[in-house]
Amino acid sequence: MNDILEELKSMIVQTLMLKDVKPQEIDVDAPLFADGLGLDSIDALELAVEIARRYKVQIKSDDERNREIFRSVRTLATFIAEEKSRMERAQ
């Protein structure tokens, strides 16, 4: 879980090419959108694509849970961890 948190932080900075933010500066509980990191839904889709590539975890664009999943780095990491263990159990 902690690994995912750290990976996500650097993924956010790299994928979204954030200029004035360093991975270690990201508060894992701060909101990703608007007044937190200030991401928008275009950023969110890019992250979703990158997450699908790295963790093989699909986030559907019409999933009603997206607002919850993308609340903070922590909620995103929790979702990825849960999906991964669910997929491992299914195998």
Partner 1 sequence: MTVAERYSSEDAVPASGLLRRLFLFARVVLAGTAFLGAWIGAGILAMVLFPVSRLRHRRQPTIERAAACQRWMQRAFVLLFDYIRLCGLLHFNPRGLDTSTPARGFVIVANHPTLIDIAAVSAVFGRLVCVAKPLLFRAPIIGQILRSCVYLEGGEMEGLAGGVVVNQALDRIGQGMPMLVFPEGTRSPAGGMRRFRRGPFEIACRANVPVLPILIRCEPATLGKGTPWYDIPPRTAIFTVTRLPAISPASFGGDAGAMTEACEATFRQHLGLPAADTRNPS
**Contacting residues toward partner 1, per CB under 8 A:** 33-35, 38, 40-46, 48, 59, 61, 66-67, 70
Q: Minimum CB separation from partner 1 for residue 59, in Å? A: 7
- Angle, alpha carbons 46-9-78 (nearest 5°): 85
Instruction: Supply φ then ψ for residue 58, to 5 degrees.
Output: -90, 130
Q: Minimum CB separation from partner 1 for residue 71, in Å? A: 9
DSSP-derived secondary structure letter, 25: G
Strand partners, 33: 39
Q: Minimum CB separation from partner 1 for residue 89, in Å? A: 26
For partner 1, the closer of residues 27 and 63 by Cβ is 63
For partner 1, the closer of residues 26 and 44 by Cβ is 44
CA dihedral 10, 14, 18, 23 (to 10 degrees): 10
For partner 1, the closer of residues 22 and 67 by Cβ is 67
